């Protein structure tokens, strides 16, 4: 556990804190955590309970992040903690991202203890060129990301954030100098989708895609196409047009949905739908890739 950087103490005697790592900007009472379940108010200070803890660490091909246009053919040392600021019913990693709902959840003692130095050493020992902060949402453990990223950079490694893009501008400014690449989910192009399916909002994600690009970070975008939810021609066209308005060279990954977590009754995305989306995407963008096929 380590004190967070991205928060402020609230005025008053009740020791509330306001986190500004992500756009939920939770006001957190003493003894409680924010929506993400990992940032906790202890005696009027906000702590990151998962600092120095990982639940998942693997050597992955960089293409699995997915990043197809950044150091292709190399390996990424991938780490994740637990918790998330979103509540996606289709989450593929719900066992860790929504771990607070599980009976095994033990605040602050969940996962393996590890220092930033050990993570960097393991990445180098495994001949990885990059460290990827992934599996669950890295915005919620951004101070840990930063400490690892600073050390990684000193040792010649690059840093990759795989994110839902819901961080605040302050958080983006905090982490951007240490990042080389990002894969940002653009899950749909309506606020309703974000509200209903993720308990979040669309606009901050669009803002962060623009910000990251402006800061010169290599970005690729991913959209999971869910039948009947975000796969209309009109919506696909809007996503492609938006990405092109930022830069037509930004790669777009359109991913196939399989029934998962709270969406077990939904159907698998038909290949024809994916191909249709690819065709629309290619009208506006130079690089469109289909995933999970």
- The residues binding ligand SF4 (CB under 6 A) are 19, 21-22, 24-26, 34-36, 39, 84-86, 88, 91, 93, 97, 136-137, 140, 164, 198
| Shortest distance in whole angstroms from residue 17 CB to ligand SF4 | 9
- In the complex with ligand SF4, the residue whose CB is nearer, 24 or 129, is 24
56-61 and 7-9 as β-strands: parallel, antiparallel, unpaired? unpaired
- In the complex with ligand SF4, the residue whose CB is nearer, 101 or 125, is 101
- In the complex with ligand SF4, the residue whose CB is nearer, 85 or 130, is 85
| Shortest distance in whole angstroms from residue 167 CB to ligand SF4 | 8
Retrieve residue 254's tokens. Answer: 């359109």
Q: In whole angstroms, give the CA distance from residue 81 to residue 52.
A: 9
Give the position of tokens 């309970």: 49
| Shortest distance in whole angstroms from residue 262 CB to ligand SF4 | 10
Instruction: Measure Cα distances from 73 to 61, 114, 200 in Å.
Output: 7, 27, 34
Query: Residue 129: which H helix or E strand, with range?
Result: none
- In the complex with ligand SF4, the residue whose CB is nearer, 7 or 252, is 7
- In the complex with ligand SF4, the residue whose CB is nearer, 149 or 280, is 149
> Which residue's beta carbon is nearest to the bound ligand SF4?
34
Retrieve residue 81's tokens. Answer: 């903690």
| Shortest distance in whole angstroms from residue 50 CB to ligand SF4 | 11
Instruction: Measure Cα distances from 63 to 23, 94, 247 in Å.
Output: 29, 22, 21
Retrieve residue 65's tokens. Answer: 């992040």
| Shortest distance in whole angstroms from residue 82 CB to ligand SF4 | 10
For 25-74, the DSSP string reads --EE-TT-B-TTSSEEEETTEEEETTTTEESEEEEEEGGGTT-SSSSTT-
Angle between helices 142-154 and 116-125 (to 10 degrees): 50
| Shortest distance in whole angstroms from residue 88 CB to ligand SF4 | 3
- In the complex with ligand SF4, the residue whose CB is nearer, 88 or 285, is 88
């Amino acid at each position: 556990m380590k004190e967070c950087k991205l928060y402020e103490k609230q005025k008053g005697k009740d020791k509330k804190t306001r986190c500004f790592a992500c756009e939920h900007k939770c006001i957190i009472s003493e003894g409680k955590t924010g929506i993400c379940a990992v940032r906790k108010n202890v005696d009027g200070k906000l702590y990151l309970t998962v600092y120095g803890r990982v639940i998942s660490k693997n050597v992955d091909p960089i293409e699995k992040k997915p990043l197809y246009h950044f150091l292709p053919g190399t390996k990424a040392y991938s780490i994740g903690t637990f918790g998330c600021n979103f509540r996606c019913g289709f989450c593929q990693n719900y066992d860790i991202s929504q771990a607070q709902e599980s009976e095994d959840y033990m605040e602050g003692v969940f996962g393996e203890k590890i220092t930033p130095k050990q993570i960097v050493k393991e990445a180098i020992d495994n001949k990885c060129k990059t460290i990827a902060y992934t599996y669950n949402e890295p915005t919620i453990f951004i101070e840990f990301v930063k400490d690892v990223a600073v050390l990684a950079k000193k040792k010649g490694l690059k840093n990759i954030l795989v994110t839902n893009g819901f961080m605040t501008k302050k958080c983006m400014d905090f982490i951007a100098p240490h990042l080389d690449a990002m894969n940002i989910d653009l899950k749909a192009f309506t606020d309703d989708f974000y509200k209903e399916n993720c308990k979040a909002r669309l606009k901050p994600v669009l803002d962060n895609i623009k910000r990251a690009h402006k800061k010169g970070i290599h970005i690729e975008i991913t959209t999971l196409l869910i039948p009947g939810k975000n796969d209309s021609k009109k919506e696909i066209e809007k996503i492609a047009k938006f990405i092109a308005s930022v830069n037509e060279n930004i790669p777009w990954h359109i991913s196939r949905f399989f029934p998962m977590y709270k969406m077990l009754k939904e159907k698998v995305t038909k290949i024809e739908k994916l191909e249709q989306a690819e065709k629309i995407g290619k009208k506006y963008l130079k690089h469109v890739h289909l995933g999970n096929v």
